[in-house]
Structure 1
Amino acid sequence: MTRDDLPTVGAITYKTFAEDELFAWLSPKQHLYPDDVRRSQLLRLRKRLVNVGSHGIVMVTEKTDSGWTGNAEVVGFAFSCRTGDDAASHKWKTDSIANKLERYLLGWELLYESKVLNRASDSKRMEAYAKIAQYDFYEKLDPRWHLAMFGVSPKHQRRGIGGMLVKHCQILAKEEDVPITLESSVVGRHLYLKLGFKIVDEIEIVEGLDSIAMVWEPSHLEGKWLEDNGGGKTHVKGRFAK
């Protein structure tokens, strides 16, 4: 992913998350202030692009695709983050003075955005979510990949693009012998289960709204990090089973 992709990725993000149940709860006035939502999302995407360990990809159309318009079009994107200090992680954690400066400036922009400019979001709900959705087992899984977010253009959904974006992360994890973590909405749970992810924790944000933590292990390392409880439940080894 490059900076030139961000406007299109931002548009996909806005459309993708507009109906997400968690995002709707965090931003109850999104329909009243859509420009605030777009601006806030674009700032966060810019930050992800320069974060250390962050890996952004886009999927574009080709001539052989149905609906080809004559130009390559971004139809999906994903951001993953590499954790740990193993040898394989180092190539994902290169940094520069320019990126450090941009992160610093974006940090202040995001603070002002969240405290003053963004009228769509509920600051108290944002703070409550940040405190509640804390998973204590992540450090037991490091080094790992964390699938932070992905989105698919609405007009290109149901074509397997989401699955291909997730599988890209799975290929990286398999090559580096590490697991993948993610936090899923209820809507996205089916796709992840289909791709071999297992639910390891559920946290209730408010009544009727849960945050679901999931983990994927490479097939040749199944059982290294996860253990079945029985009854279809799984927990991270070394962590008390719920």
Structure 2
Amino acid sequence: MLRYAKSADLPALADIAAQAMLNDELFVYLCPYRHEHHADFRAAFLRRLKMRLHTPDCVMIVAVEPECSGDEETEHVRGNKLTISGLERTLLSIENHYYNLVSPDRSIDNKRLERYNQLVETGFDFEGISELWFLSTVAVDPVHQRRGLGRLLVQWGLDRAREEQTPVGLEASLQGISLYEKMGFRTVATVEVVPGLTVPAMLWEPERPADGDAQS
């Protein structure tokens, strides 16, 4: 089932994000010391999750698998029973919110991060769209991947965006491009971070209602 994230979910969500993104090509480049300093790598996700949970224009949705115990139903949200997945959506003018550098992060290469931030700031304009829903993170526990949870979470966001007639933008990983294309996203810009690492910006736009629907 899907529900809004709670403060109590944040440690579990940070665990999932750190596991799901460990071999993501962008994090491999930006965080070359993520294995040696995995606690810092995880802590960076936790800081961003805390910030977004308490930001009015952010929405975090999680997918949880109920556990039946007698007549009671609880959620798997801790330890080995964890089956939670995270989605964040941010309504904002396009700008980079990748890392909060106030806290030290020994997993990251700051020169690489600075280069990436500069490239994204100048290269991703989403065709001049000033405001949209931005799909900032989709993270699924590796143990529970390939079960449709990522699609389920993204679809929740697209359904809300369709109701508001608002576009959705994202930065895609190589692993996610195929899913996003199947769900109607198209590439509108690309940034070559270094040779061999290209990050695409993708955009989804809701269908315009027919004239009759608009008048009803």
Provide TM-score, normalisation by structure 1: 0.73
Q: Aligned letter for 1:82?
A: L
Partner of 2:44: 40
With a CA cutoff of 8 Å and minimum separation of 6, indicate the structure with the bigger relative contact order. 2
Q: Superposition pairs for residues 102-113 of structure 1, below 5 Å? A: 110-113=100-103
Confirm whether residue 78 of structure 1 aligns to residue 87 of structure 2. Answer: yes
The amino acid across from 2:42 in the alignment is: R
1:153-177 CA distances to partner (integer Å, 9 max, x unpaired)?
A: 1111111000010001100110001
- State the aligned residue count: 189
Question: Secondary structure of 1:147's partner?
Answer: strand
- For residues 154-169 of structure 1, the aligned pairs below 5 Å read 154-169=142-157
- Partner amino acid, structure 2, of 1:189: I
SS in 2 for 1:220: coil
The runs of 5 or more residues in structure 2 that have no matched partner are 77-82, 94-99, 211-216
Query: Paired residue for 2:8?
Result: 4
Please identify, of 138-147 and 123-132, the stretch whose mean Cα deviation from structure 2 is larger: 138-147
My pick for the range that moved more, 119-128 or 138-147, is 138-147
Counterpart-to-counterpart distance in 2, 1:14 and 1:61: 20
CA RMSD between the two structures:
2.0
Deviations 1:119-146, CA, capped at 9 Å, x for gaps:
1110100111000112453483244211
Runs of 5+ in structure 1 lacking a partner? 65-69, 85-109, 223-242
Deviations 1:211-239 (A, max 9, x none): 100011113369xxxxxxxxxxxxxxxxx
2:141 is matched with: 153
Q: Give the distance between the partners of 2:159 and 2:91, measured in 1 at CA.
A: 13
- 2:66 pairs with one of 62, 75, 90: 62
Q: Following superposition, which runs of at least 4 residues in structure 1 exceed 4 angstroms of deviation?
A: none
Q: What is the correspondence of 1:1-242 to structure 2 with a 5 Å cutoff?
A: 1-63=5-67, 71-73=74-76, 74-83=83-92, 110-113=100-103, 117-134=104-121, 135=123, 137-138=125-126, 140-220=128-208
- In structure 2, what is the Cα distance between the partners aligned to 1:188 and 1:178? 21
Does the 8 Å CA contact 1:186/1:210 hold for their aligned counterparts? no
Which letter does structure 2 place at the counterpart of 1:43? R
TM-score of the superposed pair, with normalisation by structure 2: 0.81
> Which 10-residue stretch deviates more, 146-155 or 47-56?
47-56
Aligned-partner Cα distance in 1 for 2:184–2:209: 13
